[in-house]
Amino acid sequence: MPVPILDTKRQYSDYQEEVEREIIEVARSGWYIGGPKLASFEENVGKYCESKFAIGVSSGTDALLAALMALDIKAGDEVITTTFSFFATIGVIARVGATPVLCDIDIETFNIDPAQIEAKITEKTKAIIPVHLYGQCADMDEIMKIAKKHNLYVIEDGAQAIGSKRFGTVCGNFGDFGCFSFYPTKNLGAMGEGGLVTTNNEELAHKMGLIRNHGMEPKYYHKFIGGNFRLDAMQAAVLDVKLKYLDKWTEGRQKNAALYRKLFAEKNLIGKIALPVEKEGRHIYNQFTLLCEKRDELFKFMQENKIGCDMYYPLSFHEQECFQYLGCNKEEFPVANKATQECLSIPIFPELTEEEIVEVVETIAKFYS
Ligand SMILES: Cc1ncc(COP(=O)(O)O)c(C=O)c1O
């Protein structure tokens, strides 16, 4: 039985009527940018994220870029981040002219290893960008201690982790800004592109509101250099409808993760594969990522058997061609190197059936038998 890695169509019936009504309403209203749909979504998603301010933006990438711009991070500055994430995390640092400084990860969570950070701080360091990879919050207690001690900004890349929690705090509220993506593969996905910036700082919220619209206030007077980072009304309306179902969908992912854990243990596969470690708090399982012996052969076997899976990510930032100018030494990142060689993400989306999950596990068991 083929199992897709993701099937966004399966959840459409949950919200079809409501969303189609909203789309027609926006189409007929003639109000396509800003307006009441954006205001409503920002209010609701702000509450969901437990943040005082929520500013809709055009994508997760633009959320990160706008955050760096709002904090005036520029050429000559250094920004510390993980070497193991989606490219956007590092791309934005280089795009504002700053220098990315990379840290290795913790093998249990795939998140930045806080123990690596302090040694990388110089007088040029301005900010840390931890990523809450696969839906689990990074070790923000440790990261915030370091940031406070050295007076550094913190921009949380929560693109994969909306609503995740650690140490009693919802992600996006530890640092200066939380940045989120509504790319369709995310737990809360738009019907197109979208993103969000959260903050609890009124001054930064105001500035972010301007930065997303070319730094303009009042009309045609530009205080800052920003960009067109706006979230359109149609996407805001769609997201506002889908937000109501987010907890249900996330619970579906958590249930699937629990079933995988049970089945992999029953099949005695632990050892051939390592399961992601769930820390205290709330993991929202945007991905369920294994470390696997003979990963490349397993990946091929899964493809031959039509089981959706993927490598997030086959290369770390220090290995990317465009970042060779950083002059990183590969040996400095043994954990990320292991992750890129062994990681394999398997289907976890909420509408997976139990039979499909069994099929995924049995296919992996067959490979190692
Ligand atoms: C960790 C991480 N950061 C940033 C982004 C960028 O988000 P977007 O694709 O909405 O620009 C993504 C999305 O894929 C991501 O996974």
pLDDT, tens digit, 9 for 90 and up, residues 75-94:
999 999 999 999 999 999 99
In three-state secondary structure terms, 291 is strand
Task: Determine the CATH number of domain 8-104+112-243.
Answer: 3.40.640.10
CA distance 276 to 346: 12
**Which atom of ligand 1 lies at the shortest distance from residue 183's CA?**
10
Output the pLDDT for position 61: 98
Neighbour order of strands in the sheet with 195-199: 53-57, 195-199, 177-181, 153-157, 125-129, 78-82, 99-103
Centre of ligand 1 from the C-alpha of residue 365, in Å: 32
CA distance 57 to 197: 7
Q: Give one DSSP letter per residue of 296-330, joined into a string.
A: HHHHHHHHHTTB--B-S-SS-GGG-GGGGGG---G
The confidence band for 252, taking pLDDT boundaries of 50, 70 and 90, is very high
C-alpha distances out from residue 254 to 73, 109, 204, 365, Å: 37, 16, 34, 22
Centre of ligand 1 from the C-alpha of residue 89, in Å: 7
Ligand 1 pocket list (CB less than 6 A)? 59-61, 85-86, 88-89, 131, 157, 159-160, 181, 183, 195
C-alpha distances out from residue 299 to 71, 363, 364, Å: 41, 11, 10
Centre of ligand 1 from the C-alpha of residue 327, in Å: 25
Q: Which two tokens stand for residue 64?
A: 């990160």
Mean local confidence (pLDDT), 195-215: 98
Centre of ligand 1 from the C-alpha of residue 158, in Å: 9
Output the pLDDT for position 184: 97
Output the pLDDT for position 57: 98
Question: Do 65 and 229 touch, CB atoms closer than 8 A?
Answer: yes
In three-state secondary structure terms, 290 is strand
Where exactly does CATH 3.90.1150.10 map onto the chain? 246-368
| 0.85 surpassed by pTM | yes
Centre of ligand 1 from the C-alpha of residue 180, in Å: 8
* DSSP E strands, 200-317: 273-274, 288-292
Output the pLDDT for position 331: 97
pLDDT, tens digit, 9 for 90 and up, residues 124-158:
999 999 999 999 999 999 999 999 999 999 999 99
pLDDT, tens digit, 9 for 90 and up, residues 6-25:
999 999 999 999 999 999 99
The confidence band for 287, taking pLDDT boundaries of 50, 70 and 90, is very high
* Maximum Cα interatomic distance, the chain, rounded to a whole number of Å: 68
Residue nearest to atom 7 of ligand 1 (CA): 60
**Which atom of ligand 1 lies at the shortest distance from residue 132's CA?**
1
Choice from 57, 183, 230 to test ligand 1 binding pocket (greatest atom count within 8 A of CB)? 183
Question: Do 219 and 311 touch, CB atoms closer than 8 A?
Answer: no
Residue nearest to atom 10 of ligand 1 (CA): 60
Output the pLDDT for position 351: 98
CA distance 79 to 98: 7
Mean local confidence (pLDDT), 186-190: 98
Output the pLDDT for position 197: 99
- Under CATH, which architecture does the 246-368 domain have? Alpha-Beta Complex (3.90)
Percent of the chain with pLDDT over 90: 100
Angle at 182 between CA 177 and CA 187, to 5 degrees: 100
What is the number of other CB atoms lying within 10 angstroms of the CB of residue 279? 17
Output the pLDDT for position 349: 98
Output the pLDDT for position 244: 98
Where exactly does CATH 3.40.640.10 map onto the chain? 8-104+112-243
How does the average pLDDT of the chain come out, rounded?
Answer: 98
